[in-house]
Each structure stands twice: as C-alpha cells, then as structure tokens.
C-alpha cells in the first residue's frame, strides 16, 4: 500500500485506471497552462476507480521556466497542472502518479486506482517496543513452529499482537467494539490447531483468522473493504520492512551505548547461567532432565534453514501487523459504482418467473414430505441413495446461484423513490424466503443419506456450508428490513463463527461418533474409512467392541507411531487424548483379523 504522496490528488488515481500508460521518457513541452482546480477528495473520486475529473483548462502561453517547473516538480502533477501539448489528460495524470509513487518508494499489490484510494497515512517513527516484539515473534516462530502447529502457534502470535497494540497506542488509535470482536475472534480461531488434530478444520481456521485480523487492523466495513483487507498484509509487510529499517538507521546514527550495553551484558550473563546450571541439574537428576527436554524446543543443525525461514516469517508478520495498526489502509474508500437502474418491468419479470419456479418446487417438496418417500421412489425409479444424494448437490448449487442472482438484482434494481425500494424488498424477500425452503429440503436429503450410509468428512462439510448459506440468506432478509450498512461485517463474522464452531465441534470426532452409533443400531460399519481419520476420532472409536475397535484404530495408531515423540507445543489436545487412550488400551488385533473385516479395502468417498 502506498504512502501519502505530496502533491498528488486522490482524484487522479480515480482516473488513472482508465487512462493509457504514458511514455515516461517523453520530454515535457515548453508550454504549460495555469494551475487547475484541485480534484475531489479521495472518499468520493478515488474510490470508484472510474470517477469523472473536471476537464483541464485550455493551455495558455507561459514562460519556459514555468513549464519546466510544472512538468518536473512533484507539486505540479495532476493536482496542480494541466497536461502539456501532445499528452492525453488521463495519461498525463497516470504518469505523474506513477512517477511520484516511485520517487517516494511507495508500493502496493493492489491496482493503481485502488492503491491511491486506500493508501494509508504516514506512520510515525517505529517504537523500540515494536522492534523488540518483532524479534521475539521471530524467535518464537523458529522455536515453536518447526515441529508443527499446536499451542506453539498462539505463543508465536502473542508477540505480533503485542507489536500491533503498541503501534496502535503510539499512533493514538482507539479500539472500537467491532475491532475488539475481530481481535477476539482471530485469537479464538488460532486456538483451533491447539485443540484439534485434523488438518482441514485447522486450515479453515487459519484462513478465517487472517480475515478477522485484517478487519481488526484496517477497520473495514464495506464490501470492498471486507474482501480486500487481507491484501493489506502484503502491502503492510513491504511498508513494515521499510519502516523498521528507517527506525534502525535512525537509532544507529546516534546510539547511546551507556543505555543498551548494560542490558545486553545482563542478558548474556543470564543466558550463560541458565545453560550452565541447567546442564548440571539435568545431568544430576533424570526426572529433571526429562522435564527440561519436554519444555525446551529440540533444535538441531539439520533444520536450521527451516528455523531461519520461520524466524523471518514471524518477524515480518509482527512488523506487518504493527505497520497496519499504526497507519491502516483505507479500503473503505474504494467505491463501486452501482449499475444502471432498470424499469420495474424489465427488472422484476425474470425474478417473478424465478419465484414462481421456486414456489412450484417447494410445493412438490411439501407433497413428498407428507405423502412419503416410498411413492416417490416407486414413480421415479430412483433408489433411496440416488434420490437423496443427487437432490442435495443440485439444491446446494441452487442456493449458491440464488445468492449470485440477489447480488446482481440489487445492482440493477430500480431506485427512483420509496415505492421502488419497497417493490424491491417484496420481490427479493419472497425469493429469499423460498430459498430458505430449498435449504431445508437440501439438509433433509442429506440427513436421509447419512441415516442410510453413514457420515463422512465430505458430507459433514457440505452440510455445514449449506447451513451457513441459509444463515447468509437470513442476514440478507434482515438487511432489507433494518438496513444493509452492517451486512458486510455480519456476513464476514458469520463465516468466521461458522468456521470456529466447525473446528470446535471436531468434524472427525462427529464422523466417528455418528458411525459408531449407527453400528450399535444396525451392526453396519465401514472400518476402511476410519484409517484416514485424525486422532480426534479416537475417543469415539474406542467404544467399539474388539476386534473392530483395534481395526478401526489401526491406521491412526500407525500414524501416531510414525510421528514419534512430539513436543508439547506442537501437540494438539486431540492428539494428546488419542495417545493417552492408545497407551492405556493398545491396538491388539492382527493384520489378518482386520483384513477379514474389510479394514484395508479401498472405497469411494461420497
């Protein structure tokens, strides 16, 4: 994200996206016009990327010296001067913005118009505490993340959070209620890898944590802001490196050795004493040696490159968070121009037809619900599994497409007055209500399929997604009644909350629990599927009778055995419980017995 550039109006950035790139090497003509009026503020023009800029005044004769000043001075770019003869006005403004951004060292991953609209302010000098926190974050990442995710992830992130807090306080930024919500949610999501052994819910939790962390730092509240905030981490990383480097250079030019030298000496003496006496006590007592080896990270020369990369990653993350907290990118300044309003007939006719189709489908679903499935299966020729499985996937796609239709309909909705707004609410509200019936039908079909064939990772994932889509539709309906200003943040918060609940409920544990209950009812169980589950499934599978218990746990047990000894900071709570259960009740069934029960048969997961 670019720094503030003196003399460059945000309005120029709005036109830059539509202009033709100018030749930077083209010499400036010898004539220039008088200063033009400044463009509109960033919040109105630069945000959309296509905002109109007043036409420049006709060029008037001027002295060559004035022309040279207008063409070459940063303060006489698109904000204060007109395009010289031979230049397209938009191309001239684009060239001036790019040149001044290059001179100031500004950089951004975002397009030029977006970058200029959302650029952060200049950050003050980097606090010493931020530099210390960055170093601590790098060290913690190198020590605790080299063996895997777990409680060590929280330990590595705490210094980065402290760096962001110090930078925000130094910049006199105050935390708003939404900022606290995002920050607490981010930390809660980062705790999922410490609780669950399964990698897929942990990955979703990390992605959601990045989103909430970006929202907490940038304070975005509009759709462009919510969607683009994670890009701010890339920009903040580049700016954070420059910020830290300038701070180190300023401190190095006038270092007062009398201040830092005693601290460095004391820290060095403390490290020497810890290593010396720790080694003596460890060699004197085996129990203390075992405790010490379990608490301290095991660092070897062979994994030094990986540890060094983790150190850089942790330090850069802390600097990026601190830089964003000190001067956040203003993604909310990006404006998306609404579509051209349509007439009521042109806009409503397709939606009314779609509503009638939804109503007809929902009527059939109600008839099936009260008439029973046997008659439907007999008339359609489908099996029980085909009817439930095929219907779910089609209805899931129908829900996704309905959300896309609602978004496009709102873009081109008629908005001439209160009557049009009420008409839009009625049409789209009806569509949302009918879509909720489709969501309920899809979940009912998945429930039937699970009852017949058991629960799998894929089935629990898509069912959770369908539930969240239903929640989004409810939020859209509420926005139509109470206003849509909070809708982007509510949708983002609901997605993060769904991911958090999904991880805390332990999907692998749910899969094992459901299949064990099904076995206790009808004696059917798929032992082959359990071989790919994580350690989170061990408590539920432990309730199976032998030899099926041992066969179900065989794959998980082998995986934990191959992993060897795992330090505490890399071990999740789910893995700890699994190791404890398998230590108390080891796997006993032989390969032949498990093979006869179908444990090693390949299967297709659906």
pLDDT of residue 22: 35
pLDDT of residue 525: 87
Map tokens 């250079």 to a residue: 249
Provide the pLDDT confidence category of residue 538 given band limits of 50, 70 and 90. very high
- pLDDT above 90 as % of the chain: 32
pLDDT of residue 592: 86
SS3 220: coil
pLDDT of residue 207: 94
Q: Which long-range contacts (CB under 8 A, 24 or more apart) does 23-30 make?
A: 24/95, 24/98, 24/99, 26/86, 26/87, 28/67, 28/68, 28/70, 28/71, 28/72, 28/84, 29/67, 29/71, 29/84, 29/85, 29/86, 30/64, 30/67
pLDDT > 60? residue 276: yes
Phi and psi, residue 55, nearest 5°: -65, 140
Contact 164, 321 (CB under 8 A): yes
pLDDT of residue 14: 36
Contact 456, 413 (CB under 8 A): no
pLDDT digits (tens, 9 = 90+) for 257-275: 566 567 666 767 776 777 7
Least confident of 36-50, 135-149, 471-485: 36-50
Distance (Å, whole) CA 444 – CA 461: 15
Please give the structure tokens belonging to residue 419.
């009557």
pLDDT of residue 250: 79
Least confident of 135-139, 372-376, 534-538: 372-376
SS3 41: coil
Contact 516, 544 (CB under 8 A): yes
Distance (Å, whole) CA 599 – CA 457: 18
- Give the dihedral sign, CA 317/323/327/333: negative
Distance (Å, whole) CA 588 – CA 307: 39
Map tokens 């992605």 to a residue: 207
The mean pLDDT value for 134-162 works out to 90
Least confident of 253-267, 316-330, 516-530: 253-267
Distance (Å, whole) CA 147 – CA 568: 10
In order, the DSSP letters of 523-560 are: ----HHHHTT--GGGHHHHTTSPTTHHHHHHHHHHHHH
pLDDT > 50? residue 39: no
pLDDT of residue 56: 38
| Alpha-carbon separation of residue 321 from 157, 184, 192, 210, 216 (angstroms) | 11, 15, 21, 11, 10
- pLDDT above 70 as % of the chain: 71
pLDDT of residue 330: 85
Of the candidates 133, 191, 182, 179, which has an alpha carbon nearest to the alpha carbon of residue 160? 133
Distance (Å, whole) CA 116 – CA 331: 10
pLDDT > 80? residue 278: no
pLDDT of residue 516: 92
pLDDT > 50? residue 487: yes
pLDDT > 70? residue 461: yes
pLDDT digits (tens, 9 = 90+) for 329-377: 888 888 877 788 888 888 889 999 999 999 998 887 777 665 555 666 6
Of residues 161 and 4, which shows the higher confidence score?
A: 161
pLDDT digits (tens, 9 = 90+) for 374-415: 666 666 666 666 666 666 777 888 888 999 999 899 888 888
Phi and psi, residue 110, nearest 5°: -80, 160
The mean pLDDT value for 18-25 works out to 36
Of residues 288 and 75, which shows the higher confidence score?
A: 288
Least confident of 86-100, 389-403, 414-428: 86-100
Q: pLDDT averaged over the chain? A: 77
Contact 401, 438 (CB under 8 A): no
pLDDT of residue 209: 95
DSSP 44: I
pLDDT > 50? residue 77: no
Of the candidates 493, 470, 570, which has an alpha carbon nearest to the alpha carbon of residue 208? 493
pLDDT digits (tens, 9 = 90+) for 151-197: 999 999 999 999 999 999 999 888 889 999 999 999 999 999 999 99
Question: What's the distance, CA 359 to chain centroid?
Answer: 36
pLDDT of residue 577: 94
Distance (Å, whole) CA 582 – CA 538: 8
pLDDT of residue 374: 62
Provide the pLDDT confidence category of residue 300 given band limits of 50, 70 and 90. low
Distance (Å, whole) CA 190 – CA 33: 58
Please give the structure tokens belonging to residue 179.
């900022």
- Give the dihedral sign, CA 128/131/133/139: negative
């Amino acid at each position: 994200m670019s720094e503030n550039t003196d003399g460059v109006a945000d309005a120029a950035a709005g036109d830059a996206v539509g202009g033709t790139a100018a030749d930077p090497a083209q010499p400036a003509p010898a004539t220039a016009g008088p200063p033009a009026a400044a463009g509109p503020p960033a919040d109105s023009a630069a945000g959309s990327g296509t905002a109109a800029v007043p036409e420049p005044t006709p060029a008037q004769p001027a002295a060559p010296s004035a022309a040279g000043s207008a063409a070459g001075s940063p303060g006489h770019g698109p904000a204060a001067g007109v395009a010289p003869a031979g230049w397209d006005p938009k191309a001239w403004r684009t060239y001036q913005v790019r040149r001044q951004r290059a001179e100031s060292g500004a950089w951004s991953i975002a397009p030029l118009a977006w970058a200029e609209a959302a650029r952060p302010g200049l950050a003050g000098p980097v606090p010493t505490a931020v530099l210390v926190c960055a170093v601590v974050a790098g060290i913690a990442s190198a020590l605790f993340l080299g063996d895997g995710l777990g409680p060590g992830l929280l330990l590595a992130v705490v210094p980065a959070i402290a760096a962001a807090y110090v930078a925000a306080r130094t910049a006199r930024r105050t935390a708003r209620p939404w900022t606290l919500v995002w920050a607490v949610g981010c930390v809660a999501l980062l705790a999922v890898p410490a609780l669950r052994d399964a990698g897929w819910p942990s990955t979703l939790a990390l992605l959601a944590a990045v989103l909430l962390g970006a929202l907490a730092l940038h304070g975005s509240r509009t759709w462009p802001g919510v969607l683009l905030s994670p890009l701010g981490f890339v920009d903040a990383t580049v700016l954070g490196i420059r910020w830290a480097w300038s701070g180190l250079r300023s401190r190095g030019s006038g270092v007062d050795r009398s201040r830092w030298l005693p601290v460095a000496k004391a820290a060095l003496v403390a490290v020497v004493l810890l290593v010396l006496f720790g080694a003596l006590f460890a060699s004197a007592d085996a129990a203390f040696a075992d405790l010490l080896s379990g608490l301290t990270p095991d660092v070897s020369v062979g994994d030094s490159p990986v540890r060094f990369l983790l150190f850089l990653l942790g330090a850069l993350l802390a600097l990026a968070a601190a830089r964003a907290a000190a001067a956040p990118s203003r993604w909310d300044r990006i404006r998306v121009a609404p579509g051209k309003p349509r007439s009521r007939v042109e806009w409503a006719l397709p939606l009314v037809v779609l509503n009638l189709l939804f109503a007809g489908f929902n009527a059939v679903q109600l008839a099936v619900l009260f008439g029973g499935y046997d008659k439907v299966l007999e008339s359609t020729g489908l099996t029980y599994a085909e009817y439930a499985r095929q219907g779910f996937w089609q209805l899931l796609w129908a829900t996704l497409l309905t959300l896309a239709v609602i978004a496009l309909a709102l873009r081109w909705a008629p908005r001439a007055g209160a009557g049009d707004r009420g008409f839009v609410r009625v049409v789209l509200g009806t569509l949302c209500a009918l879509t909720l019936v489709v969501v309920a039908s899809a979940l009912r079909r998945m429930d039937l399929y699970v009852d017949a064939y058991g629960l799998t990772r894929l089935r629990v994932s898509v069912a959770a997604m369908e539930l969240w889509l239903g929640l989004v539709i409810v939020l859209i309906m509420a926005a139509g009644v109470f206003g849509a200003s909070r809708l982007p943040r509510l949708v983002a918060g609901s997605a993060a909350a769904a991911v958090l609940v999904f991880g805390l409920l332990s999907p692998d544990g749910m899969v094992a629990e459901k299949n064990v209950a099904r076995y206790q009812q009808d004696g059917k169980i798929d032992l082959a599927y359990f071989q790919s589950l994580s350690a989170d499934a061990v408590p539920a599978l432990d309730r199976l009778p032998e030899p099926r218990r041992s066969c179900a746990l065989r794959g998980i047990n082998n995986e934990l055995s191959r992993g060897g000894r795992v330090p505490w900071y890399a071990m999740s709570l789910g893995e700890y419980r699994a190791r404890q259960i398998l230590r108390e009740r080891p796997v006993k069934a032989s390969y032949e017995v498990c093979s006869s029960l179908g444990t090693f048969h390949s299967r297709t997961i659906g």
